[in-house]
Chains A and B, each alone.
Chain A
Amino acid sequence: MTERAMQEPTLLLLTALADAPRHGYALIQEIDAISGGRVKMRTGTLYGALDRLLQQGLIEVAAEEIVDGRARRTYALTGGGRDLLAVEAERLRSVAAEAQRRLGGAPVPRGATA
């Protein structure tokens, strides 16, 4: 699993679940926010990814409830998912650090990455 870089939708999805369990629409909103509006995950794509991550044991269903008459299932990271995300975050951090070092050590201003 750690042999190759994680695909961006998977990374965004796991990141969106890293601080708290979330339901489907909240995940779409979080991914939109984390990616700075660049990735707008659609419902079918989201559930395709959720089903895959559930099957891989990287996430789990944390709660199933009815809120205001609406079915709501909340998803959370498993221990394996948390470990995998940590490994990927470390890999990205070291690449970013190396990129900054080669650029002369000057930190890139926030929002100037486009």
Chain B
Amino acid sequence: MSAVTPGGHRTGVALRAVLALYPARYRRDRGAELAEVFADTTAGAGRLGTAREALDLAAYGLRLRTGLTSTALGGRLLAAAAPLLAGATAGLVALPGDVRFWRVRAAARAGFDAPWTALPDNLALLGLTVVPALLAVAAAFGAWRAVRTLAGTVVLLAVVRLGVRLATANVRPGGPWLTEPNVWLLLLDATALLPYLAAGALILAAPADLLERPRRLPVLTGAAAGLLVTKAQGGYDTWHLMDGWTPLLLLLAPLLLMLCAARERLLPAALGLAVLPLTAWFSLFSLWEQVGGVWRLAPALAVGAGTLLLAGRVLSGRQEGKVKTP
């Protein structure tokens, strides 16, 4: 680590923190080399330049740690899912007849005349109506730099709306507003916003070097799937929650599709990955409602997760066996 000295003590601390993000084996193999190159590139670069370099180095460490590099299965799956996710996010759009549609219309009509307390939420709501559509168009034309910026914007807008919901719900532990109806409403609102947050984050996590071509058909497929599941779920914020097997089906079907990745069938797995962020939250919420609480839902979730894990291992085991056979 002698290379750290040119950047000074602070750079050395930052570099050690960044390298800690790398898997131990990679760090042992390449740590000194990375430190050397980092020291050379940041020599005289200034704080901003050093911070950018450190962020880039940290991002690759996180990719390696999470298996999201462009050569890893997770990274390739995310890259295959990115155009579908872009379309699916646009498929979340509120249609006439949907409760959200009236909210969007009211926010658009109020414009900047809305009370200042309502303005951030209104603007974020309008943003989440327009930006996903732009995101899908950008993905369809292969403008992936724009897609990433727009995905970041979607995540930001969803965070703003979630923050506003959390602040206005006022459900502090021990506070007077921590009542079951308030928590229920907060969770219901969250199920409508988490799809944006999750889909945007997954698009951002896709390896940039695998996103290169215009992907019109996957974007259209994703949009159709997004519209379909949103409709099946009643537009996320309907007062008539899903009953029966629908929530379970909308949760398990994408998960089962994702298992195809274990056999290197990335297309169906990508479709599952694109749909899951849209269905998971509302399905879990509906199941929680039906079953009657988190603790009653937990055993079913544990059994489901175990079964999926086992199925995934069996499938990947078979695939490995197949590859080894000459």
Check: B34 CB closer than 8 A to any chain A CB: yes
Q: Which of B303-320 contact A (CB under 8 A)?
A: none
With both chains docked as a complex, state the minimum distance between the C-beta of B169 and any C-beta of chain A, in angstroms: 39
A7-B209, A43-B41, A44-B59 given as contacts; is B36 within 8 A of A52 (CB)? no
Determine the chain B residues whose CB is within 8 A of the CB of A46 once the complex forms: 37
A-B contact pairs, 7 of them (CB 8 A): A24-B36, A25-B36, A25-B37, A44-B58, A48-B209, A71-B32, A71-B36
**Contact, CB under 8 Å: B209 / A71:** no
Q: For residue B63, which residue of chain A has the nearest CB?
A: A48
**Contact, CB under 8 Å: B60 / A45:** yes
> How far is B40's CA from A7's CA once the two chains are assembled, in angstroms?
26
**A55 touches which of B3, B71, B212 (Cβ 8 Å):** B71
> How far is B36's CA from A56's CA once the two chains are assembled, in angstroms?
25
> How far is B60's CA from A85's CA once the two chains are assembled, in angstroms?
25
Determine the chain B residues whose CB is within 8 A of the CB of A56 once the complex forms: 71
**Contact, CB under 8 Å: A43 / B37:** yes
Check: B69 CB closer than 8 A to any chain A CB: yes
**Contact, CB under 8 Å: A4 / B213:** yes
Q: For residue A66, which residue of chain B has the nearest CB?
A: B32
A48-B69, A51-B69, A52-B70 given as contacts; is B209 within 8 A of A43 (CB)? no
> How far is B213's CA from A56's CA once the two chains are assembled, in angstroms?
20
Q: For residue A5, which residue of chain B has the nearest CB?
A: B212
**Contact, CB under 8 Å: A69 / B2:** yes
0/1 per residue, B25-59, Cβ < 8 Å to A?
00000101110111011000000000011001111
With both chains docked as a complex, state the minimum distance between the C-beta of B30 and any C-beta of chain A, in angstroms: 7
Interface size grouping (class) on chain A: 20 to 34
**Contact, CB under 8 Å: B60 / A44:** yes
A48-B69, A73-B33 given as contacts; is B52 within 8 A of A42 (CB)? yes
0/1 per residue, B49-91, Cβ < 8 Å to A?
0001100111111010000011100000000000000000000
Determine the chain A residues whose CB is within 8 A of the CB of B40 once the complex forms: 25, 28
> How far is B72's CA from A69's CA once the two chains are assembled, in angstroms?
33
> How far is B61's CA from A43's CA once the two chains are assembled, in angstroms?
11
**Contact, CB under 8 Å: B41 / A25:** yes
Determine the chain B residues whose CB is within 8 A of the CB of A4 once the complex forms: 212-213
Check: A70 CB closer than 8 A to any chain B CB: yes
> How far is B207's CA from A9's CA once the two chains are assembled, in angstroms?
14
With both chains docked as a complex, state the minimum distance between the C-beta of A9 and any C-beta of chain B, in angstroms: 7
With both chains docked as a complex, state the minimum distance between the C-beta of B247 and any C-beta of chain A, in angstroms: 39
7 closest cross-chain pairs (CB), A and B: A44-B60, A71-B32, A42-B56, A44-B56, A24-B37, A25-B40, A44-B57
Check: A49 CB closer than 8 A to any chain B CB: yes
Q: For residue B212, which residue of chain A has the nearest CB?
A: A7
Determine the chain B residues whose CB is within 8 A of the CB of A28 once the complex forms: 37, 40-41
A25, A42, A56, A70 — most chain B CB neighbours (10 Å): A42
**Contact, CB under 8 Å: A42 / B57:** yes
> How far is B29's CA from A71's CA once the two chains are assembled, in angstroms?
11
With both chains docked as a complex, state the minimum distance between the C-beta of A99 and any C-beta of chain B, in angstroms: 21
Check: A72 CB closer than 8 A to any chain B CB: yes
Determine the chain B residues whose CB is within 8 A of the CB of A48 once the complex forms: 60, 63, 69-70, 207, 209
20 A-B pairs besides A24-B36, A42-B56 with CB distance below 8 A are A9-B209, A28-B41, A42-B52, A42-B53, A43-B34, A43-B56, A43-B57, A44-B57, A44-B58, A44-B59, A44-B60, A45-B56, A47-B30, A47-B34, A48-B63, A49-B209, A69-B2, A70-B32, A71-B36, A73-B30
